[in-house]
Amino acid sequence: MGNDILVLVEHHAGAVHDSAAELLGKARELAGATGGQAVAVLLHDGWGDTHASALPADRVLSVEHTAFANFLPEAYVIALEAILRDRDPRLTLIANTTVGMDLAGSLSARMSSPLVAYCVDLAIDGDVVVATSQVFGGKLNAEVELPSGIASVVAGAFPPAEGGGAPEVEAVAPMAGLDSLSMTFLGRIEPETSDVDITAEEILISVGRGIGGEENVELAQELADALGGVVSASRPVADAGWLPKTRQVGKSGRKVTPRLYIACGISGAPEHLEGMRDAELIIAINTDEKAPIFDVAHFGTTEDLFDILPALTERIEAATSVA
Ligand code: FAD
């Protein structure tokens, strides 16, 4: 077994995914402990070489083939299996995204290698890798030890690497199996577009099932207008169509880090907290004092949101008009 830490570089439409810098930052740290290298794996159809030298890695393994023009799990698994068998790294890091979840399981099965999914921390302790993984939808963390293996890492678990690494870029010959794939890429179905990108907003007024119905979302909209923010939602609100799916915060929605997040009638299920717990200031309005949202809130009230929201809007409008 080698000492390198491999990172699959995820990319979409010619842009490297944010996860690459996060995983490579951790890979560099771990490689420092194993005495190996942080090795990025870039599977691409020609554009990748311009990006390769900017990656914060010690080495980049660059595989160019038309099969990588779009994401085809079969092509990725063929390439990754060949690379892992050849390089025998201590650890392979893959982002716990839809792409990563697609790959990590089948790669683990093919390699007969352990997989730690939903990984939120990693360390090297002597000869073992110590991985912390979220279980039960994020309610508990489990710490496991493994000699080597694969980890699929939750977004935002590690800070991005600072600066590039001036890596050595090594062209790897495309694997034979890439020319006879059984899977064909037909087309991409783009997600619904939204008038706003909630991940880029500084102030979010987020409504949950406690808002009661679509007709009440206006109360949150008025507060958002007064504060210069936008309205986001928990999953039941998006599922009910009270707000577009693109406004959904959480595990199956967007991860947001605004300066202010006001949670109105949101219980704080782990899947919701996953998407907003890193907000700078969290204020919770929930009539249930035991609601888990209060575990992450900096301030909170158990008053009824139908009293609080109009009162808050009125105060802010009054303060703004005086100013
Ligand atoms: P509830 O849990 O029903 O909470 C409503 C809250 O409103 C309660 O706490 C109640 O006390 C309070 N309330 C009621 N009336 C008032 C009032 N008048 N004033 C003040 N407070 C009031 N959820 C997400 O949000 N985002 C996701 O991305 C997501 N992904 C998921 C992925 C998976 C695989 C699974 C299994 C679940 C996912 N969920 C997600 C769902 C999640 O588990 C919860 O069911 C959901 O977050 C609950 O939404 P909620 O807090 O709006 O509703």
162/82 Cα distance (integer angstroms): 30
Rounded-to-10 torsion of CA 90, 91, 92, 93: -150
Put residue 212 in one of left, alpha, beta given phi > 0 → left and psi -120 to 50 → alpha: left
Exposure class string for 148-157: b at 16+ Cβ within 10 A, else e:
bbbbbbbbbb
Mean pLDDT of the chain: 93
Q: Say whether pLDDT at 140 is over 90.
A: no
Does the pTM of the predicted model rise above 0.75? Answer: no
**Centroid of ligand 1 to alpha carbon of 202 (angstroms):** 22
| Three-state SS at 279 | coil
State what percent of residues in the chain have pLDDT above 90: 80
Predicted local confidence at residue 171, as pLDDT: 96
The β-bridge partners of 169 are 60
Give 323's pLDDT tier (boundaries 50, 70, 90). low
Q: Best of 214, 266, 296 to mutate for ligand 1, by most ligand atoms within 8 A of CB?
A: 266
Ligand 1: does its nearest atom lie under 6 Å from the Cβ of 300? Answer: no
Distance CA 89, CA 30 (A): 12
More confident residue, 164 or 255: 255
**Which ligand 1 atom minimizes the distance to the CA of 251?**
28
Asked whether residue 191 carries a pLDDT value surpassing 70, the answer given is: no
Ligand 1, atom 26: closest residue by C-alpha: 250
DSSP of 92-130: EEEESSHHHHHHHHHHHHHHT--EEEEEEEEEEETTEEE
CA nearest ligand 1 atom 25, residue: 234
Q: What is the pLDDT of residues 21-72, one digit of tens each?
A: 999 999 999 999 999 999 999 999 998 778 899 999 999 999 999 999 999 9
Of the candidates 126, 125, 102, 127, the one whose C-alpha atom is nearest the C-alpha of residue 115 is 102
Closest-lying ligand 1 atom to the alpha carbon of residue 305: 19
pLDDT at 12: 86
CA distance 303 to 285: 7
Distance in Å from the first CA to the final CA of the chain? 66
The CA distance from 284 to 115, in Å, is 36
291 lines ligand 1 (CB under 6 A): yes
Q: What is the mean pLDDT of residues 270-287?
A: 94
Q: What are the residues whose beta carbons fall under 8 Å from the beta carbon of 256, sequence distance 6 or more?
A: 198, 199, 201, 204, 232, 249, 275, 276, 279
7, 13, 15, 21: CA torsion to nearest 10: -30
Q: Is the C-beta atom of 179 inside 6 A of ligand 1?
A: no
Which residue of 272, 273, 283 sits with most ligand 1 atoms within 8 Å of its CB, as the best mutation to test the pocket?
272
What is the pLDDT at residue 299?
98
Task: Identify the residue whose C-alpha is closest to ligand 1 atom 15.
Answer: 210
Average pLDDT over residues 270-282: 93
Return the bridge partners of 168, or none: 59
> What average pLDDT does the segment 77-95 reach?
97
- Asked if 86 contacts 96 with a C-beta cutoff of 8 angstroms, the reply is no
Percent of the chain exceeding pLDDT 70 equals 97
pLDDT at 194: 63
Q: Quick one: pLDDT at residue 297?
A: 98
Whether the CB of 286 sits within 6 Å of ligand 1: yes
CA separation (Å) from 157 to 58, 122, 278?
21, 10, 11
> Is residue 256 helix, strand or coil?
coil
